[in-house]
Amino acid sequence: MEKSFNTAGPCIPDDHYMVSITPRFEIFKKLIDNKRYFLLHAPRQTGKTTLMLQLMELLNQEGKYIALYVNVEAAQPWRNQIIEVNQMIVNEFKMNAKIYLPSEFQPAPACFEENTNGFSNFLTNWCLQLPKPLIVFMDEVDALIGDGLISVLRQLRSGYTQRPRAFPHALCLIGLRDIRDYRIYSDASKRYIVGGSAFNIKEKSIRLNDFTLEQVKELYAQHTQATAQKFTHHALQRIFDLTRGQPWLVNAFGRELCFEEQAIDWKQTVHKADVDKIAEILIKRRDVHLDQLSDKLTEPRVARIIQSILVGEAAQQEEFEGDLNEDQQYLIDLGLVRVGNYGLEIANPIYRNIIPRELTAYQQNMLGIDPKWYVKADGKLDIDKVLEAYIKFYKRHHEFVTKRRTYTEAAHHLLLIAWLQRIVNSGGRINHEYAAGLGRLDLCIEFAEEQFAFELKLSHKEVLTEGKTQLAGYLHRLSLEQGWLVIFSRKDVSDWDAVGKREYVEEEGKRIEVIWL
């Protein structure tokens, strides 16, 4: 069976191309030898489970320890029903021991007796039975909820002093977030419990990083070795630039480029233009991984951070309940954002394109416009006609902005993006650039080998001076002579004649059309 790029579940060495885990293995091995309890956290589908399954197998092959991986997510529906949560976890241990361990290391029937106090009794009985120290990898721990999660953490903490003879020699908790970021509401005590206080025996917290450019090259080189298909340097660089090394996305590009219906023949070399075509396919199709990220956009704590990035202005703590620092870290742990040169920014260009599209999908479908109306006879985009029609549309349908219930500060931006996206869907694309410290949202329409650069800003005292300078810099970077500065009012409209005012200005040798909305 030929190997392939994997985008569904853990990687299997015999079936999938894989980045070497050897450098990571040494880090974990040292912690295990020193009897440490530690955490591994990273966004979904970044390779956590693959890494832990391989580590389990390697430890068992070495023979010094008995290692077992368990996923406890199945206990999530029981929430605060602690007895049921514990029983479910014990069942997972029992089942996985049958799957991964030889019969002589599997827990004896006596291990399952007198477990009314939780799964820690089971672990104690099992460790006392085993001839070698036990290593446990517990996945999806932060999927548990409320008192069920608190019970799990406290049981592990209480058994810590009994290791290694009567409790796991070393233990790794695996999840999306560092345990210091857990805020667990206890129905029993009617208050929030911080994860670090329920599990204060953590030695180290390790975040699984995305692939480096060299690792991306290593992964694709395995396909080249297996099939003789080559990738240009620019193609591999483009894959890395678009994904920032996010493992699922890196593999998704490989799958589409090499194995799916639109795949490049293995006798042909993959070029940068091929990668760009696949990027648009992934963005439009929104596979499971991307769909899960889109679903998060409706969460209030996610919305307020994403909105601040879209409009280019940092959110103000006094405007919201909760802790903005916690919200920021939550989004970083989800893999949605990262800290860039200008502050918070979307984690990679693929997500950067998906988020505005997802937030404007409904509006796009409701616009009722035929994109062909704005294409000239020579196939070029009539950008002036597009903007004039948008101004008329905005005046008639201002409620798309005023009645938006979420992302209200970004409502102007999102409606214009929806309009432009609906137009370019007939044969072009929009590239977005935005970050919380930029003070603007830049976008570039690419249509029929032409580029149209826009800068979107919320109105403030120095907005025109600031916007002209920023857009001129953007135009210099794109080697364009003309651009559009769209300034949105923060106030309710009182003078409709002034809405849609258009004027031309010069800045640093660039021609800029300013549109006031």
Say whether both 230 and 188 belong to one domain: no
Say whether both 83 and 160 belong to one domain: yes
Domain of 147, CATH number, reads 3.40.50.300
Say whether both 381 and 439 belong to one domain: yes
* In-domain check, residue 306: no
Last residue of one domain, picked from the residues 207, 228, 260: 207
Pairing of strands 337-340, 343-346: antiparallel
Amino acid in the structure at residue 136: V
Instruction: State the chain's mean pLDDT as an integer.
Output: 87
Q: What are the distances in angstroms from CA 245 to CA 211, 219, 251, 270, 394?
A: 4, 11, 10, 18, 39
Say whether both 281 and 144 belong to one domain: no
**To 10 degrees, the CA torsion angle through 156, 157, 158, 163?**
70
Q: Which of 113-117, 208-212, 218-222, 328-332 has the highest mean pLDDT?
A: 218-222
d(CA 412, CA 223): 45
Say whether both 410 and 508 belong to one domain: yes
As beta bridge partners, residue 67 has 135
Amino acid in the structure at residue 162: Q
* In-domain check, residue 76: yes
Report pLDDT digits (tens) over 401-430.
Answer: 877 778 888 889 998 998 888 888 777 889
| Structural domain count, the chain | 3
Last residue of one domain, picked from the residues 285, 308, 326: 285
* In-domain check, residue 294: no
Say whether both 158 and 221 belong to one domain: no
* DSSP states along 313-372: SPPPGGGSSS-HHHHHHHHHHHTSEEEETTEEEESSHHHHHHHHHHHTHHHHHHS---GG
Tokens of 325: 């620092």
Report pLDDT digits (tens) over 60-96.
Answer: 999 999 999 999 998 888 877 888 889 999 999 999 9
Number of H helices, E strands in the chain: 19, 15
* In-domain check, residue 384: yes
Helices (H), 160-246: 195-198, 213-227, 233-243
* In-domain check, residue 336: no
Task: Read off the pLDDT band of 208 (50, 70, 90).
Answer: confident
Say whether both 120 and 171 belong to one domain: yes
Q: What is the pLDDT of residue 44?
A: 81
Tell me the three state secondary structure of residue 15: coil
Query: For the ranges 95-99, 117-121, 268-272, which has the lowest average pLDDT?
Result: 117-121
d(CA 40, CA 19): 18
Helix (H) or strand (E) holding 302: helix 300-311
Say whether both 57 and 90 belong to one domain: yes
* In-domain check, residue 9: no
Q: Output the pTM of the full model.
A: 0.86
Tokens of 103: 């019969």
Range of the structural domain that residue 200 is part of: 22-207
Say whether both 357 and 442 belong to one domain: yes
Last residue of one domain, picked from the residues 179, 207, 235: 207
Say whether both 405 and 500 belong to one domain: yes
* In-domain check, residue 154: yes
d(CA 304, CA 344): 12
* In-domain check, residue 341: no
